[in-house]
Amino acid sequence: MDKASTSKFSLRTRPTSEKLVDVGFKNIVVAMASMVAIVLFSIFVVVYYESTESISRYGLRFLFSSAWNPVTDEYGAFTAIYGTLFTSIASLLIAIPLGVGTAIFITENIIPKYIRNVIGIMVELLAAIPSVVLGLWAVFIMEPFIRPFLNIIYELFGFIPFFGTQPLGAGMMPAILILVVMILPIITSISKDSLNQVPSKLRQAAYGIGASRWTTIFKVIIPAAISGITGGVLLALGRAMGETMAVTMIIGNSNNFSWSIFAPSYTISSMLANQFGEADGSQVSSLMYAALILMILTLLVNVFAQWIVKKLSLKYQ
């Protein structure tokens, strides 16, 4: 004690104001972090609350009926649910090979690193283009361009229900293609990151025992990176299910159910975008019910994505 007081340094006690600032700041950041939970929770509560009327009136029948008649107050979201699931899964089936293939191409040393980086950045920039601009492009450029090809498919395979109507413009097929464009960057960039994280020892060991490049990729690299790739695919699925603008502009917005991928259809999000503005009464409640279904679907996919990344990634740590 003596020594401390006589030396030219003295112990400084923290002034109360400094402690107050410290505690106050902590409380503020805790509040900010809690906002996330509050918003997420209230989204669920609000959407559920607004849809209670429809839920109690239609129950599960809502999921299997494709009636949508504001005059007679008869609502069912089957066409929209089918459209949401079909477009997103079909686009995923096209985008997975493209995205993972591209990711492999830009993580392997096939061409100089400089060009690979440029390709990687270009695919990621694709994600920066707003959905409404892609929709505009799809309406005016892509759809007129692909229509003759779709017509050929219709003429050759029209007897199959999936190709059973003549492509006349907006429809499910162009919507699927534009969804491919939108989810490709997600699959590519997440697959690229997880392929890059595979320890190079694994690759060297495979080469060392005589495996060829693609044997190494299929038997060693992809299995090691599978958690990230699956996570990316699931995130892309969630994105595709919730995607609104581009799909609304090109899918044709019709609630008539059809097996044909050339016919106009609906997704839950395009139904919301189209009708929510002018809806009232029980139509709002039915739209909210559809929104609730969309939320639950995307939530399941996203939670499953997070779970699978955690579950599978432990293997190669």
Partner 1 sequence: MNYTKQKSLTYNPSLTRNIGNKALTITSALFAIISVLPLILVISYVLIKGGSYINIDTIILEPEPPGDDLLSAGGIGPAITGTFIMSVIASIISIPVGVGGGIYLAEYSKSGKFAKFIRFGSNVLAGVPSIIAGVFIYAIIVSTKILFGSMFSGIAGGISLSILMVPTIIKTSDEALKLVPNDMRRAAFGVGASKFTMITNITLPAAFSSISTGVLLALARAAGETAPLIFTALFSRYYITSFDDLFYEMGSLSVLIYNFALEPYEAQNQLAWAASFILVVVLLSLNILSRWIGTLGAFSKNKV
Site residues (CB under 8 A) for partner 1, limited to 52-111: 97-99, 101-102, 104-106, 108, 110-111
Name the residue type at position 241.
M
What is the residue whose two structure tokens read 């400094």?
18
DSSP at 68: E
**Window 198-227: residues binding partner 1 (CB under 8 A):** 212-215
Q: Are 180 and 98 in contact (CB under 8 A)?
A: yes
Q: Which is nearer to partner 1, 132 or 156 (CB)?
A: 132
Alpha helices (H) along 59-77: 61-64
Question: Rounded to whole angstroms, how far apart are CA atoms 184 and 206?
Answer: 29
Q: Which is nearer to partner 1, 76 or 135 (CB)?
A: 135
Contacts made by residues 67-73, CB under 8 angstroms, sequence distance 24+: 68/255, 70/279, 70/283, 73/281, 73/282, 73/283
What is the residue whose two structure tokens read 């939670």?
303
Q: CB of residue 300 vs partner 1: minimum separation in angstroms?
A: 10
Applying CB under 8 A, the span of 37-45, 59-67, 73-81, 148-156 interacting with partner 1 comes to 37-45
**Window 177-196: residues binding partner 1 (CB under 8 A):** 181, 184, 188
- Total count of residues recorded for the chain: 317
* Chosen residue from 52, 61, 73, 140 binding partner 1 by CB under 8 A: 140
* Chosen residue from 89, 141, 152, 205 binding partner 1 by CB under 8 A: 141
* Chosen residue from 3, 8, 12, 201 binding partner 1 by CB under 8 A: 12
Convert 276-303 to b/e letters by CB count within 10 Å (16 or more is b): eeebeebbbbbbbbbbbbbbebbeebbe
User: Can residue 129 be called a binding residue for partner 1 (CB under 8 A)?
Assistant: yes
Question: Rounded to whole angstroms, how far apart are CA atoms 314 and 88?
Answer: 29
**Window 251-310: residues binding partner 1 (CB under 8 A):** 269, 272-273, 276-277, 287-288, 291, 294-295, 298-299, 301-303, 305-306
- Neighbouring residues of 316: CB distance < 8 A, sequence distance ≥ 6: 198, 199, 224
Applying CB under 8 A, the span of 2-10, 15-23, 55-63, 152-160 interacting with partner 1 comes to 15-23
Name the residue type at position 139.
V
Count residues near partner 1 (CB under 8 A): 89
Q: Which is nearer to partner 1, 40 or 156 (CB)?
A: 40
Q: Which is nearer to partner 1, 110 or 152 (CB)?
A: 110
User: Can residue 4 be called a binding residue for partner 1 (CB under 8 A)?
Assistant: no
